[in-house]
Structure 1
Amino acid sequence: MPKKEALDSKIYVLDTNILLHEPLAFLSFKENDVVVPMTVLEELDHIKDSKKDVARDARVSIRSMEDLLHDATPEELMKGVSMQGLAAGDNAPTGSLSIFVDLGMPASQQVFTSNENDNRIINCALHLQAKNSPRQVVLVTKDINMRLKAKGAGLGHVEDYRTDQMITDIKYLSKGYHQFEGDFWETVKAVDSRTEGRDTIHTIDRKVLPEAYVNEFLLDDSQHFAGLVESITQDHLEVLDLGYERLMGRKAWGITPKNIGQAMGLHALLDPHIDLVVLTGPAGSGKTLLALAAALEMVVERNMYDKIIVTRSTPEIAESIGFLPGTEEEKMAPWLAAITDSLEVLHKNDENVKGSMSYIMEKANIQFKSVNFMRGRSIQNAIVILDESQNLTASQLKTIITRCGEGTKLICSGNLAQIDSNYLSAVTSGLTYIVEKFKNFSGSATLNLDGVVRSRLAEFAEEQL
């Protein structure tokens, strides 16, 4: 490699959490060289045999690096093995991958003398920075405290791993609707309207809303107009006129929406042409209750689907589900109490609530499944409710979405302010990822429910705490 070209490229030192977050992350640095300290391999080795939910990611990462490095000599391993040809496309890696033996570094080359893993990785990055100057050495870690320690120790460049981030801030996440000030029709200069059966469809200039996506709702402050973007061409938008009052009048399993956000969510949930509905919002906004009411309406009343499969992920589930007594569904019951709570709410006026719940669970064929056992399945003609999906990574969500066969509708709900995973943040959550990835897909809809309707206590807590 010519000297100038080598100086232009960088050396990236990866922390363990990067490879747990994305096992093939070392392939994401294009023409730059990647260094994996021996300490990182040690940590991956400890994690791969554990019962943690990231054990599989550790194994995948180790195997992927072994596939590249298995024929390399010890000298080549330390110098760097080219990653060229491992992937295709514009972002394919052309740099090298090397293993840095940081376990026996002389004390004179160490800034941190304590033997903690984070300190050893920082020492490795500082050593490479001194050795390769003026070439830029970058430590990549998702650990905020480690980034601060590295900066304080004199490392010039420290970064978070952002290759997988669709947005830089959660405030830019699509809400699934657009609010217009005043009257919507005052912003529209020309419109062509037509009637198809009972529906009225307006064709308007795309300049009215150039950033619109299919299945996004349009509202105005006057509470007169409510519409849905049905299709988009280069110059025009086709908008289905829903009517504000008609939208608020939607019903499912005896419940009606309490605000316009719930009304839009219910419309998307009951639409048979939408295969994926993503509901985001704070605790108490009605995500689970709406999803369950719509599912019961479509399975029991309309006979559109055969069954309801309810699943969710919790960080502890992989470790503790085996110690709970009973069948898979009985083991899942404590984790899916939110569903049974919602069923109680939907049947609270019945004479025998427990009897009604048992009857409905059998009639609607409601099945509680662990997300751990979804891999390999093919689910046909069912409604899948995936609760608390903010704790899943993009790859885990992909596994579940690709299980959905013909005639299956998937409902994902989650609160990005309540992420329990140590390896995810609001911008790297799989829920955020699919909201952004699927906004161009005509078979999906996203709704952010921003009003807390559970109780005035819950509403005050959400606003003030």
Structure 2
Amino acid sequence: MKKIFVLDTNVLLHDPQAIFAFDDNEVIIPAIVLEEIDSKKRLADELGRNARSVSRLLDGMREQGHLHEGIVLRNGGLLKVELNHRSFVRVQEMFGEMTNDNRILAVALNYDMEEREKGSNTRTVLVSKDVLVRIKADVLGLEAQDYLSDRTVSATDLYAGYSTLHVHPSVIDEFYTYRFLSLKSLQLSMKLYPNEFVILRDEMGTSKSALLKVSQDGVRLEPLYLSNDAVWGITARNAQQRMALELLLNDDIPLVTLTGKAGTGKTLLALAAGLLKVEDEHKYKKLLIARPVVPMGKDIGYLPGEKEEKLRPWMQPIYDNLEYLFDTKKSGDIDKILMGLGSIQVEALTYIRGRSIPGQFIIIDEAQNLTKHEVKTIVSRVGEGSKIVLMGDPEQIDHPYLDSISNGLTHIVERFKGESSSGHITLEKGERSKLAQLAADLL
């Protein structure tokens, strides 16, 4: 059954290729959406880039015909810029003010009413990433949905980076005897990925267990190479933290992703591993730490001072962890230490774009606030001999158009899970304090 999809502005600003995601159905872009896209095209950020991409895409389609009459898309669908469905009466009765959102709702509602009057079975669907717009549509009796085509996986199927297998105790004994297990001989019904960790447990219920890792070629299970010794004073407190350190300290894995709730140790483990590799082993020339400048809550506006002073409020979580690792006693000591070392650089993510970064240990914190394109831009900056660590909590999104599934961190975890050059771990147990763990679980 054919459908009519009316697109909100935020869908196109999130994914300029969204018009091709609706198969052979009719795609409607309300005229007010073009006005909103035009107002964003001069921005220097991701929204501005996407606004310009949409503008160029629509401009190229004009060669095929008039947009207000409809253009046949490559997937068999029909794209139309709507100018005539501007009656605002029905929506105004419900919501009053003639906002841009309400105008988009009016277009969708008028289309829906027309189809019903014709006795057609064609459904009209409003597609928006704005929760309140979808709620308003529901109040008006309109069908509305989020834009889901760019999601790589459902929320329940997110890759955790490790699996637990219950096996016969003889299998665990075989591992301890030969120090490896062939995946083929185990005849597993589930798929295991390169660098994925496996916890073997006795199916008979005893305490016998083993912690292993899938080899980079994905053909066998092998032991962890690292012991549980302290790394810059930090010792793994649970199995997932030990897995994370195994990935962070493995020079053959240039891309590591860490996810988990607040207090699970993501930042501290990554910084400890980076300091060991840069300061002690001299494997990398520099430790570069960056995070996106996305404030939680109301922005505090422009800050006075030099670049370092402006960035300090957003970079403070990084400095807090560095102060713990260096065991500083006084305020300001960490700045003196970092100035003296010269090999540790704390930056805002804005200043990484356009750079080529060879021979460095790179940590990107709060990566859940990055879009897919931004993650691609950052990882493609990584030069020869560098290692990059992206980490964050997909449940704590401060970006208006992202969620736990569509953000850049989740995207790269899913895209790279089958690659031998990457590894991922989801940290689950909070180790900051009992109160922090309770807050993460209950609040």
Question: TM-score with structure 1 length normalisation?
Answer: 0.84
Quick check: 1:219 aligned with 2:199? yes
Which residue among 17, 20, 38 is the counterpart of 2:13? 20
- The within-5 A match list for 1:394-409 is 394-409=372-387
Aligned residue number for residue 88 of structure 1: none
Alpha-carbon separation, structure 2, partners of 1:242 and 1:370: 34
SS in 2 for 1:41: helix
The one-letter amino acid paired with 1:94 is G
Q: Tell me: CA distance 1:305–1:108, structure 2 relative to 1, closer, same or farther (3 Å).
A: closer
1:164 alignment partner in structure 2:
150
Structure 1 residues 356 and 129: alpha-carbon distance in aligned structure 2, compared to 1, 3 A threshold:
closer
Equivalence for 2:407: 429
Distance 1:230 1:354, change over 3 A: same
Please, which of 248, 258, 282 is the counterpart of residue 269 of structure 1?
A: 248
Q: Residues 125 and 175 (structure 1 numbering): CA distance in 2 closer, same or farther, change over 3 Å?
A: same
| 2:370 matched residue in structure 1 | 392
Q: Contact 1:179–1:219 at 8 Å: present in 2 too?
A: yes
Q: Distance in 2 between matches of 1:438 and 1:119?
A: 40
Q: Which amino acid aligns with 1:388?
A: E
Q: Displacement, 1:72?
A: 6.3
Aligned twin of 2:100: 117
Residue pairs, 1:80-229, within 5 angstroms: 80-84=70-74, 93-101=75-83, 104-105=86-87, 107=89, 114-132=97-115, 133-155=120-142, 157-169=143-155, 171-181=156-166, 184=167, 186=169, 188=171, 200-204=179-183, 205-208=185-188, 210-221=190-201, 222=207, 224-229=209-214
User: Aligned equivalents of 1:362 and 1:209: distance in 2?
Assistant: 54
Whether the 8 Å CA contact 2:295–2:314 is kept in 1: the answer is no
Q: Would the alpha carbon gap of residues 137 and 344 (structure 1) be closer, same or farther in structure 2, given more than 3 Å must change?
A: same
Q: What code does the residue aligned with 1:405 have? A: G
The whole-number CA distance in structure 2 between the counterparts of 1:218 and 1:94 is 45
Alignment partner of 1:98: what SS? strand
Gaps of 5+ in 1: 1-7, 85-92
Report the Cα distance in structure 1 between the residues aligned to 2:280 and 2:47, rounded to whole angstroms. Answer: 41
Q: Percent identity?
A: 35
3-state secondary structure, aligned to 2:313 = coil
AA in 2 matched with 1:305: Y
Structure 1 counterpart of 2:146, which letter? D
Say if 2:87 and 2:110, in contact at 8 Å, map to a contact too.
no
Equivalent-residue separation in structure 2 for 1:107 and 1:458 (angstroms): 51
Residue of structure 1 aligned with 2:317, choices 338, 352, 358 = 338
User: 1:110, CA displacement in angstroms?
Assistant: 7.5
Structure 2 CA distance for partners of 1:227 and 1:108, relative to 1, 3 Å:
closer
Conserved in 2, the CA contact under 8 Å of 1:344 and 1:353? no
Q: Any idea what SS the aligned residue of 1:416 has?
A: coil
Deviates more, 1:444-453 or 1:252-261: 252-261
The alpha-carbon deviation at position 266 of structure 1 amounts to 0.7
Rounded to whole Å, the distance in 1 between the matches of 2:342 and 2:255 is 20
- Assess if the C-alpha contact under 8 Å between 1:343 and 1:357 holds in 2: no
Supply the distance in 1 between the matched residues of 2:208 and 2:367 (Cα, whole angstroms). 32
1:109–1:147 CA distance, 2 compared to 1 (3 A): closer
Residues 340-368 of structure 1 show CA distances to partners (whole Å, capped at 9, x for unaligned) of: 111111121x6778557634554361122
Q: Give, in angstroms, the shift of residue 62 of structure 1.
A: 2.4
Residue in 1 that maps onto 2:421: 443
Equivalent residue of 1:447, what SS? strand
| TM-aligned CA deviation for residue 188 of structure 1 | 3.8
Summarize the alignment of residues 194-343 of structure 1 with structure 2, pairs less than 5 Å apart.
Answer: 200-204=179-183, 205-208=185-188, 210-221=190-201, 222=207, 224-231=209-216, 237-242=219-224, 247=227, 249-316=228-295, 323-327=303-307, 329-343=308-322
Q: Distance in 1 between matches of 2:126 and 2:382?
A: 39
Q: Is the 8 A contact 2:363 2:388 kept in 1?
A: yes
Contact 2:356/2:382 (8 A) holds in 1: yes
Deviation at 1:165, TM superposition (A): 0.8
Structure-2 change in CA distance of 1:59 and 1:77 (3 Å): same
What amino acid sits opposite 1:210 in the alignment? M
Alpha-carbon distance in 2 for matches of 1:345, 1:109: 56
Question: Which SS does the other structure have where 1:131 is aligned?
Answer: helix
Q: What TM-score, normalized by structure 2, do the two folds share?
A: 0.87
Q: Classify 1:353/1:118 alpha carbon distance in 2 versus 1 (closer, same or farther; 3 Å).
A: closer
1:413 to 391, 401, 423: 391
Contact 2:371 2:407 in 1 (8 A): yes
Using the TM superposition, give the Cα deviation of residue 99 of structure 1 relative to its aligned residue in structure 2, in angstroms.
0.7
Q: How far 1:334 moved relative to its partner?
A: 2.1
TM superposition shift of 1:211: 1.9
Q: Deviations over 1:403-458 (max 9, x none)?
A: 11111111011012211111111111111111111111111111111111112221
Distance 2:402 2:129 in 1: 9
